[in-house]
Amino acid sequence: MLSHAVAALRCPVCQGTFQLREGRQRTLACEAGHLFDAAKQGYFNLLTGKGTVFEADSADMVAARHRFLEAGHYSGLARALAQAAAGPLQRPDALVLDAGTGTGHYLAAVLQMSGATGIGVDISKFALRRAARLNPQAANLVWDVWRPLPMADNTADVVTVVFAPRHPAEFARVLRPGGSLIVVTPRPGHLAEIAARTGMLGIEEGKDERLAESMKGYFDSGTSQSLDLPLLLSGQEVADLAYMGPAGHHLKRGELAELATLEGSVATTAKFRISEFVVS
């Protein structure tokens, strides 16, 4: 499985093909001799030089996301995403790229349902430590999705993006003709009951239109479905939810500790949209 993913990868320095060297140290080695050693958890850091200007999620933010997702609050979303991806992943040797894979939670669900080969990319090495443990059969790569992806043209059957940055031109390049991009976004009213008290940003109207607009020229719109998940959360879970998203970068420890001591439970609804786009 990993070897199939490696065949789709390209060296970010020279665009050459990689060979996977196994042994005491696992290494991706390109034809020109550029070497990328696996970290001890199993992921590969392909970001060379200056790294990235983006603020990667911290170890604590990743731990919060891991706790929240593993508790199963969003398992309905993982199932719906895996179902949406299963159709286009029916081909033997099918390949899926999960952009901004985080802890690998959603990629795990997609791989389990489809039996496909996976590539997960994220700029946070803390996230990839978890992802590599959860999806050891996938290629887990530290990479910035705003840069050209370290993948060959026309290799992926599906690209999934769950609450992570989107680079339509690159997603279209790595997808096979007719391949699918599946994007999960929050809808207006998402977690409204807790957004106000945690500094989470509200979801503005018109987001779907802007998403569709950003895909023009690369993708045709396909199907779209909305999914509502009612949640009943403890104070600690509210704190994790606030910390695991973009607001986590700005929340202070004191604010989180205060949320975690909230008495009783908070009822709210997660509102998602799952949109599929097909390569034009």
List residues binding ligand SAM (CB under 6 A). Answer: 54, 56-57, 65, 100-103, 105-106, 121-124, 127, 144-146, 162-165, 245
**SS3 of 168, please?**
helix
Query: Are the beta carbons of 162 and 244 closer than 8 angstroms?
Result: no
Residue 101 DSSP symbol: -
Q: Does 113 bind Zn ion (CB under 5 A)?
A: no
Q: Binder to Zn ion among 1, 6, 7, 13 (CB under 5 A)? A: 13
| DSSP-H helix ranges across the chain | 2-8, 59-70, 75-86, 105-114, 125-134, 168-174, 192-198, 207-215, 235-244, 253-260
Q: Does 16 bind Zn ion (CB under 5 A)?
A: yes
| Closest distance to ligand SAM from the beta carbon of 24 (Å) | 29
* Residue 102 partner contact from ligand SAM, Zn ion, none using kind-dependent CB cut-offs of 5 to 8 Å: ligand SAM
* Residue 32 partner contact from ligand SAM, Zn ion, none using kind-dependent CB cut-offs of 5 to 8 Å: Zn ion
Residue 87, amino acid: G
Strand 266-279 versus strand 219-233 pairing type: antiparallel
| Closest distance to ligand SAM from the beta carbon of 160 (Å) | 8
H or E element at residue 219: strand 219-233
Distances (CA, A) of 41 to 68, 83, 115, 159, 217: 22, 29, 23, 24, 39
| Closest distance to ligand SAM from the beta carbon of 35 (Å) | 22
| Closest distance to ligand SAM from the beta carbon of 262 (Å) | 22
**Cα separation of 187 and 36, whole Å?**
39
* Residue 34 partner contact from ligand SAM, Zn ion, none using kind-dependent CB cut-offs of 5 to 8 Å: Zn ion
State the residue number with the nearest CB to ligand SAM: 102
* Residue 14 partner contact from ligand SAM, Zn ion, none using kind-dependent CB cut-offs of 5 to 8 Å: Zn ion
Residue 183 DSSP symbol: E
Q: In what order do the strands lie in the sheet with 156-162?
A: 44-45, 139-142, 117-122, 95-99, 156-162, 175-186, 266-279, 219-233
| Closest distance to Zn ion from the beta carbon of 6 (Å) | 13
| Closest distance to ligand SAM from the beta carbon of 177 (Å) | 25
| C-beta closer to ligand SAM: residue 29 or 229 | 229
Place of tokens 């420890």: 253
Q: Binder to Zn ion among 5, 11, 158, 174 (CB under 5 A)? A: 11
* Residue 100 partner contact from Zn ion, ligand SAM, none using kind-dependent CB cut-offs of 5 to 8 Å: ligand SAM
* Residue 30 partner contact from ligand SAM, Zn ion, none using kind-dependent CB cut-offs of 5 to 8 Å: Zn ion
Q: In what order do the strands lie in the sheet with 35-37?
A: 18-21, 27-30, 35-37
Site for Zn ion in 31-60 (CB under 5 A): 32, 34
Site for Zn ion in 116-175 (CB under 5 A): none
* Residue 164 partner contact from ligand SAM, Zn ion, none using kind-dependent CB cut-offs of 5 to 8 Å: ligand SAM
State the residue number with the nearest CB to Zn ion: 11
Residue 123 DSSP symbol: S
**Cα separation of 202 and 86, whole Å?**
31
User: Where do contacts with Zn ion occur on this chain (CB under 5 A)?
Assistant: 11, 13-14, 16, 30, 32, 34
